[in-house]
Amino acid sequence: MKEPLAWLGNRLRLLDQTRLPNEEVYLELTDYQDVAEAIKALRVRGAPAIGVAAGYAVSLWALAASSQDVLSFKKELDGVLAVLAATRPTARNLFQVIERLREVGDGLSSVDAFKEKLVQEAAAIHLEQHEADRTLADYGAALLGAGASVLTHCNTGPLATAGCGTALGIIIRAFEEDKIKLVYATETRPLGQGARLTAWELMQAGAPFKLITDSMAGYVMSTRRVDAVIVGADRIAQNGDTANKIGTYTLAVLAHEHGIPFYVAAPTTTIDRGASTGSDITIEERNEDEVTHCHGIRLAPAGTEALNPSFDVTPARLITAIITEQGVIKTPCL
Ligand code: MRU
């Protein structure tokens, strides 16, 4: 498994996911603003991995910070956290990390102790993500029977969590347990996280898969055996409504129509106690160029206006269960 993120003591090594699968380019970042740019540009992406990267961004800032008193250090920290918060609005894990780091200094009276605590906390967040992913994979793989064919969307493997993945982590675990016959991976327009990243990770795992365009999902569910659809989550509301990569809602409707179990896999850090339902979730809107162009090449005529919501919300009633590291939650009853 290739590490998408690694803390090197005074710099962050990051696998640039925008260059995959054709090039494996590692960036070494020393400035928190470069990490913020990397999150915005999807060099690191997937809600949990964004949270982990944000933790290390704060470490980079803290190591270089010159403030001598705790009050001004804390004020500067708030500014850094605000820059990170402005990168990807839907990814709950990012905000969970921000809230956690904001509280880290409570009760500390020295800047050095504050810095040390921030650096330790970032490493702890990364480690906890690894642990949550491993446990979640156990719970999820246990839901699949032998010879399962599963369909997944976007990319939810190690690249997306900096651990062993959520939905794709479950699928890879089930494959290692000899349970997987075939994985259908959706291309995931507009940016192709399925085609570029999930296909890359499944290939590395040696798991059998077929890539499909997003619009083939109905055909596949109606003509082939699909035992489960398993996707990740960017933010889960208290009632179980789930925001995930655009196209997830369509898959949930199709799965419902075809009587196929629809599972969401996410660590509990993706659950937003401040969102009662999906309508409380902010959906990130990205640049129209991502839809009108592909890898910089224009697809649509110049002047075409496009929509580009990065996520949609699947209502809890279409979700069979949410798989977390704390167990499997049957919806809608979070
Ligand atoms: O825009 P992205 O690539 O960050 O979107 C990623 C997803 O939608 C994932 O499904 C989600 O973050 C879960 S990652 C384990």
Is residue 69 pLDDT above 60, yes or no? yes
- State the pLDDT at residue 2: 81
Is residue 333 pLDDT above 80, yes or no? no
Ligand 1 within 6 A of CB of 160:
yes
Q: Greatest CA span in the chain, whole angstroms? A: 66
From 97, 193, 229, give the residue whose CB has the most ligand 1 atoms within 8 Å, as the site to mutate.
193
Question: Model confidence over 270-314: pLDDT tens digits?
Answer: 999 999 999 999 999 999 999 999 989 999 999 999 999 999 999
- State the pLDDT at residue 1: 67
Question: Model confidence over 94-133: pLDDT tens digits?
Answer: 999 999 999 998 999 999 999 999 999 999 999 999 999 9
CB atoms within 10 A of CB 317: 12
Most confident region among 66-70, 298-302, 327-331 by mean pLDDT: 298-302
Which residues contact residue 184 at a Cβ distance below 8 angstroms, ignoring those fewer than 6 apart?
A: 149, 150, 151, 152, 209, 210, 212, 217, 220, 226
Average pLDDT over residues 56-82: 97
Question: What's the rounded Cα separation, in Å, for the pair 95 and 76?
Answer: 18
Cβ atoms of 284 and 90 closer than 8 Å? yes
Is residue 186 pLDDT above 90, yes or no? yes
- State the pLDDT at residue 332: 56
Percent of the chain whose pLDDT exceeds 70: 99
Query: Would residue 234 show up in a list of annotated catalytic residues for this protein?
Result: yes
- State the pLDDT at residue 334: 43
| Closest atom, ligand 1, to C-alpha of 265 | 15
Question: What's the rounded Cα separation, in Å, for the pair 320 and 231?
Answer: 12
CB atoms within 10 A of CB 136: 29
Centre of ligand 1 to C-alpha 246, Å, is 10
Beta bridge partners of 235: 243
Ligand 1 within 6 A of CB of 233:
yes
CA pseudo-torsion sign 55, 61, 67, 73: negative
Is residue 73 pLDDT above 80, yes or no? yes
Centre of ligand 1 to C-alpha 50, Å, is 9
Place of tokens 């990814």: 91
Average pLDDT over residues 158-182: 98
CA pseudo-torsion sign 202, 204, 206, 210: positive
Cβ atoms of 94 and 83 closer than 8 Å? no
- Mean pLDDT in the chain? 97
Average pLDDT over residues 222-235: 98
Question: Model confidence over 6-15: pLDDT tens digits?
Answer: 999 999 999 9
- Cα angle vertex 192, ends 33, 176, to 5°? 100
Provide the CA 57 distance to its chain's centre, in angstroms. 17
Q: What Rg, from alpha-carbon coordinates, does the chain have?
A: 20
Place of tokens 């697809």: 299
Q: Residue 282, exposed/middle/buried by CB under 10 A (0-12, 13-18, 19+)?
A: exposed
Ligand 1 within 6 A of CB of 194:
no
Question: What's the rounded Cα separation, in Å, for the pair 192 and 42?
Answer: 12
